[in-house]
């Protein structure tokens, strides 16, 4: 399988913060692979996602290398990388209709005129299973539920059929039922378009339901990486075992290990 992404010695430091947000991360992602990054708040998982997408703030200093052997060139955010943020309310413009927001991404990345971009936006809203997409395209974010807003954000992220979809805590602001629906939607879209997936979450149960491999982060370092089955049944570190106990439950962990 072709390597899409290679991280070597990746580190990130923020101005005025003594400890690095990331340090010494070596990580590969194959074309079409689904990789989950898990860890507690402050573990560096979201910093990793933003570093890969080129979305670090100006206060951040990047070390190491981010290479794209599967592209033979640097990746373009929006065209090669689709990014879904944690809070769809903050990632959507409150004064622009949701259809125009998706169309704007199509216009910018696919060189479509506005009529074609708006047509594509409606098709994408339908693809993410929003009801009456032509009518909903004229709605504004405040008129949608949290789950509907996140579906709009996902539609915008997949406009250009990117090679990599990054979902950074994309389900954490949603209730349990909607979380499951969004995970199922991401799984379907990734499979249909052959995208690689970087799924960032603090919830190992959601990650296990979606990913081929799971990387565990703590204090800015990757402490373990394994296939999902291996990590759940035979975690190598105490920290991974603690995450399993917290999110899958002690009984579930014991059962998975037998």
- Is 146:173 a contact under the CB 8 Å cutoff? yes
Q: What is the pLDDT of residues 58-85, one digit of tens each?
A: 999 999 999 999 998 999 999 999 999 9
pLDDT band at residue 255 using 50, 70 and 90 as cut-offs: very low
| C-alpha span between 238 and 244 (Å, rounded) | 10
> Domain containing 246 — which CATH number?
3.40.50.300
- The residues pairing with 13 across neighbouring beta strands, listed in sequence order, are 61
Is the pLDDT confidence value at 254 over 50?
Answer: no
Cα 138 → chain centroid: 27
169 Rama class: left (phi>0) / alpha (psi -120 to 50) / beta: left
Q: What is the pLDDT of residues 162-214, one digit of tens each?
A: 999 999 999 887 888 999 999 999 999 999 999 999 999 988 888 998 999 99
Query: Which domain does 54 fall in, by range?
Result: 3-257
The CA angle 6-7-8, to the nearest 5 degrees, is: 120
| Count of the separate structural domains present in the chain | 1
Quote the pLDDT of residue 76: 93
Helix crossing, 98-110 with 114-127: angle to 10°?
A: 120
DSSP E strands, 68-132: 81-84
- In angstroms, what CA-CA distances link 184 with 32, 123, 178, 188, 210? 16, 19, 10, 6, 8
């Amino acid at each position: 399988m072709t390597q899409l992404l290679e991280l070597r010695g990746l580190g990130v430091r923020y101005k005025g913060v003594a400890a690095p947000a990331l340090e010494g991360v070596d990580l590969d992602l194959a074309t079409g692979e689904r990789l989950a990054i898990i860890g507690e708040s402050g573990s560096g998982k979201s910093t990793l996602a933003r570093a890969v997408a080129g979305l670090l703030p100006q206060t951040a200093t990047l070390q190491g290398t981010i290479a794209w052997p599967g592209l033979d060139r640097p990746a373009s955010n929006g065209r090669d990388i689709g990014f879904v943020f944690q809070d769809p309310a903050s990632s959507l413009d409150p004064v622009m209709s949701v259809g125009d927001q998706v169309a704007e991404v199509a216009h910018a990345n696919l060189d479509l005129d506005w009529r074609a971009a708006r047509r594509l936006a409606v098709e994408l809203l339908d693809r993410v299973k929003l009801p009456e997409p032509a009518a909903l395209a004229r709605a504004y974010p405040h008129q949608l539920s949290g789950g509907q807003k996140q579906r709009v954000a996902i539609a915008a992220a997949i406009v250009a059929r990117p090679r990599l979809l990054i979902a950074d805590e994309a389900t954490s602001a949603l209730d349990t039922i909607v979380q499951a629906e969004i995970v199922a939607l991401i799984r379907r879209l990734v499979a249909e378009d052959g995208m690689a997936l970087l799924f960032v979450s603090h919830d190992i149960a959601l990650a296990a339901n979606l990913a081929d491999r799971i990387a565990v982060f703590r204090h800015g370092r990757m402490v373990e990486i394994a296939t999902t089955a291996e990590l759940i049944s035979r975690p190598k570190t105490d920290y991974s075992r603690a995450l399993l106990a917290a999110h899958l439950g002690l009984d579930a962990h014991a059962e998975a290990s037998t």
